[in-house]
Amino acid sequence: MKRILLLVMVSLMTMVSSAQAEERETATFAAGCFWCMEHPFDELPGVISTTSGYTGGFKDQPTYKEVSAGATGHTEAIQIVFDPVLVSYEKLLEVYWRNSDPTTANRQFCDVGSQYRPGIFYHSAAQQQAAEASKMSVQQNKQFREDIVTEISKATTFWPAEEYHQDYYLKNPVRYKFYRYNCGRDQRLQQLWGGSHE
């Protein structure tokens, strides 16, 4: 009897786990230094995890040294796992725009090169449609003169960055804030979007 109850409990737990997994979605964004993109999304209710990494390139298992040298075609990015019941993809897009400079094709703030290009990498037709609509809305309603150059493309393999890059803003808060300030990130975001950041 105990064995049957145990099997039933394991079966129910597996069903619940599968249902929870089905409710999760993935989003991938690039906006320069991945350290600076984790924090804004980690604060959102419904975001399950953020991972710094590399996407959009041609080399398997790229390293930070290779990507930062611009040798692999990748851009620094973050991958977000989220519960769409609690936070919509459209909300993630809003947060993304306000934490990026969409006016520079191969640069974000003080970081220069294609490895820092801004991009939205969609995982479904619905995400593609939402991203394109969002980009059009930003283009039509922006307060700055420059055009929006952020690329929208299909998500390809995402390679997680080395462990020391993950949650860098939590592990190394002083270095993180020093980098962020000296890179002029918040100053430029304020100029583009107004309001406060970080």
Task: For residue 52, list its beta bridge partners.
Answer: 78
Residue 48 tokens, joined: 């399950």
Q: Is the dihedral of CA 41, 45, 51, 54 positive or negative?
A: negative
Based on C-alpha coordinates, what's the Rg of the chain?
19
Residue 15 tokens, joined: 């069903």
Residue 69's CB: how many other CB atoms inside 10 A?
11
CB 168 within 8 A of CB 35: yes
The span from the CA of 182 to the CA of 175, in Å, is 11
Look up 183 and say whether it is catalytic: no
Considering the candidates 33, 36, 110, 183, report the single residue annotated as catalytic. 33
Residues annotated catalytic, as ranges: 33
